[in-house]
Amino acid sequence: MTEPTTPLRARDRARAEVMSELLAAARARLESEGSAALSLRAVARDLGMASSAVYRYVPSRDALLTLLIIEAYDAVGEVAEKVAADAHGADPAQTWLEVARAVRRWALDQPYSFELIYGTPVRGYRAPDDTVRSAVRLWGVIIGLLMAAARDGVLDPAGPDFDPAGRMAPEALAVAGFTDPTTVPDDVARIAIRSGTLFTSLVGAISVELFGHLHHVAGDYARFFDVTIATSAAGVGLRVSLD
């Protein structure tokens, strides 16, 4: 009803609507068949339009995939953030286990979305800045938990660290709230390093399970996952107890 300088005219509304239908159809095809089989023409057919018309909305197939990538990053980020937020005040170590479990559950529920972001990168895809902002949300949760653990005195200060501040990218420190690398206290920088290890073990554990590398090795995947998470957590000084 309000009329701003750039109002939403009928055409713009129609365009936005088609765009969201397009994304929904693409998402559906992604979830059911995987990114490799996601064809722009098939999505166009689902929408009942000519394939050439899709190019009015999306410059290329890779661009469409990029949109789905951002969606996926936001989805995992949201899952992790929600679990962390719901655990108000609980032991950060146990919260980390819950976060990790939730991310694993998300990945098992939509394996193709997980693959899209943490599997083999899409050919010709170069992360645009929009992606980075969404991609980094999971990191943010991990860093937050480690900082809480340090604050609570639950984080074992010893561990295989190394001169950290100088080797962390400014973006990573910015996630933790430090815009000027030189002002970062040593313990915070150490936390950033440890967050990398936790992130790696999380992504690694899910990848290895999802991509079939445990097929002839582990029996109980969920338990194996828990043990892996607990082990890497112990490595960075977080004591996670299982059952």
- Segment near a second copy (CB under 8 A); pick from 17-25, 53-61, 97-105, 154-162: 154-162
Judged by CB under 8 A, does residue 109 bind a second copy?
no
**With the C-alpha atoms ordered 130, 131, 132, 135, is the resulting torsion angle positive or negative?**
positive
Pull the structure tokens for residue 221.
Answer: 């995947």
Q: Which of residues 37-76 bind DNA (CB under 7 A)?
A: 38-42, 48-53, 55-57, 59-62
Q: Which of residues 156-195 bind a second copy (CB under 8 A)?
A: 159-162, 166-169, 171-172, 192-194
**CB nearer a second copy, residue 57 or residue 199:** 199
Q: How far is CA 53 from CA 9, 14, 41, 66, in A?
A: 21, 14, 10, 19
- Segment near a second copy (CB under 8 A); pick from 9-17, 49-57, 74-82, 200-208: 200-208
Cβ atoms within 10 Å, residue 147? 19
181 residue type, one letter:
P
Judged by CB under 7 A, does residue 9 bind DNA?
yes
161 CB-side CA count, 13 A: 22
Closest by CA to 95, choosing from 195, 237, 240, 235, is: 240
Where on the chain is the footprint of a second copy (CB under 8 A)? 34-37, 115, 118-121, 123, 127, 132, 135-136, 139, 159-162, 166-169, 171-172, 192-194, 196-197, 199-205, 207-208, 211-220, 223-224, 227-228, 230-236, 240, 242
